[in-house]
Chain A
Amino acid sequence: MKPLLTVRGVETYYGAIRALKGVDIDVFEGEIVTMIGSNGAGKTTLMNTVCGDPRARSGRIVFDGRDITAMPTHEIMRLSIAQSPEGRRIFPRMTVYENLLMGALLGPGDDASIKEDLATVFGLFPVLERRQGQRGGTLSGGEQQMLAIGRALMGRPKLLLLDEPSLGLAPLIVRQIFSVIRDLNRTQGLTVFLVEQNAFHALKLAHRGYVMVNGQITMSGPAAELLARDDIKAAYLEGGVHA
């Protein structure tokens, strides 16, 4: 398997606070990798550090054979990384359609591909097609989450970064979104790095997993193995097994 994303010894600071304390991560092509951890562990910080904001103070991040540690965010993303960020960050005063076009900036950009990708996204999330002309800020939480994922897919990314796509959503919608991710991975070989609180679902979906505690990776391994461990069950799955 070819490494797509390699993170080595990354430390990230917010002022004097060290949020990441030497993190190592690998994501190989065609994998779904998840990172679980409790609130404030540093999961979002890691995902954002990969995207160059905030920047790693030390360590190295390599994507697709290129060192991206010091690159500006927009250049990193143009190497074909798309992020569906924490809080969804839908452009509130743009329509659903325009939000999707923003995602298409990372893609090939010609009208034919955009049309094709729109059809794909509308196929996955039919509600978005019906709401094309509605302003993003007025969508429901679940619809916004679908739009955030759809927007990321519009860029035909090599690597899809998903930060808590299940947050605040009904179990039915969570299942729907996770099955979309699984299908894209199986049919198109899409590589996914998924950050989740919903550890049970995430570990069920992923091939491999990492556990982050307090800015450090404490455990890693095949997702099924992590799922079977008693300490993980105790720490992250209490009350989480509801599917």
Chain B
Amino acid sequence: MDYFAQQLINGLTLGSIYGLIAIGYTMVYGIVGMINFAHGEVFMIGAFIALIAVLSLFALGVTAVPLALLLALVIAMALTGLWGWAIERLAYRPLRNSFRLAPLITAIGMSIALQTFVALTQGARSKPLPPVIRGGFTLSEGNGFAVSLSYMQILIIVTTVVVMAAFSYLINSTSLGRAQRACEQDRKMAALCGVNVDRTISLTFVIGAALAAVAGLMFLAYYGVIDFFVGFVAGIKAFTAAVLGGIGSLPGAMLGGLLIGLIEVFWAGYFTAQYKDVAAFSILAIVLIFMPSGLLGRPEVEKV
């Protein structure tokens, strides 16, 4: 039981990170119908910007860890958002009306270009961040196994809940969110209602990138080390999460993220760590056989 509780906590932590990245995949798919394969790299860039920001803030004498993390979060969200904006503007928008595979191929190219860019400018070796938040609670002890909940894990889960609540409010209850959903459902009609469709699409990339930056900072703080390749694996997991939850569905992305995180951690905890990725993908395959549009996705036919 204790072991189970521990895996649950670890799984939720990892799932939070996947969920935040998955939202970016699902939102972009929803509004422009493409898989942004470079989104994993946007997450990686977010983590790098966060790392540089934290270290710079420490160097500048901002030694209060909560303040430094908060500032780094804001900086990473803003600058990564800018990257998201630029990627859409330069690489995807010119191809928006071309044949369907063009943006897909461009996204793969963009992904490689961003990895290479970071490897060249930051070096290929992994970059450590000294542990910034130590300690935690010991929830229960006994039978020789202690369940611990670190402050870091609490911070990650709480931040994710707050960010997702704010994000859901933005999408469901503000006129900006309504415009976003309108573009997703009928771009032409949205324009006829006076919505600036190009700007709304840009904004979608910016929001997705900013959420990926939140995940990037959390990943960095949790694992304490990043390199130019972290976006690849995390990106594929988050993409899997988005498909599992139902691509295009925002609650689906959050749910899918949590599930992938849990599956991975539980598999590694109870079976073997080597096969944790196989487990996640197998479950995805099984779900898709029985629910082709994912757990919370809507069937393709309903698309009017």
Contacts and interface: CB of A to CB of B under 8 A. Distances in A.
Interface of A: 51, 53, 72-74, 77-78, 82-83, 85, 89, 91-94, 98, 101-103, 105-106, 137, 151, 155
Contact of A102 (B178, B188, B196, B298): B178
Contact of A85 (B175, B178, B181, B189): B189
9 residue pairs, one from A and one from B, having the closest CB atoms: A73-B191, A89-B189, A77-B194, A105-B194, A92-B304, A91-B185, A102-B193, A106-B194, A78-B194
B182 interface: yes
B183 to A, nearest CB: 10
Interface of B: 175, 178-179, 181-182, 185-186, 188-197, 298, 302, 304
B300 to A, nearest CB: 13
A211 B155 CA distance: 68
Contacts of A89: 186, 188-189, 192
A101 B175 CA distance: 8
A53 B188 contact: yes
A94 B189 contact: no
A92 to B, nearest CB: 5
Interface SS, B side: helix
A83 B192 CA distance: 7
Given A53-B188, A89-B188, A92-B304, A103 B193 contact: yes
Given A101-B175, A102-B182, A105-B175, A91 B194 contact: no
Question: Interface centre among A53, A73, A77, A82, by most B CB within 10 Å?
Answer: A73
Nearest to B193: A102
B193 A105 contact: yes
Given A74-B197, A101-B175, A137-B304, A91 B192 contact: no
A76 B181 CA distance: 21
16 contacts: A51-B192, A53-B191, A73-B191, A74-B191, A74-B196, A77-B193, A77-B194, A83-B192, A89-B192, A92-B186, A92-B302, A94-B185, A105-B195, A137-B302, A155-B193, A155-B194
A91 B178 CA distance: 10
A94 B190 CA distance: 12
A94 B194 contact: no
A74 B194 contact: yes
Contacts of B185: 91-94
Contacts of B191: 53, 72-74, 77
Given A51-B192, A105-B195, 19 more contacts: A53-B188, A72-B191, A73-B191, A74-B191, A74-B194, A74-B197, A77-B191, A77-B192, A78-B194, A89-B188, A89-B189, A89-B192, A92-B185, A93-B181, A94-B185, A102-B182, A102-B195, A105-B175, A137-B304
A94 B182 CA distance: 8
A104 to B, nearest CB: 9
B180 to A, nearest CB: 11
B304 to A, nearest CB: 5
A58 B190 CA distance: 26
A91 B175 contact: no
B304 A106 contact: no
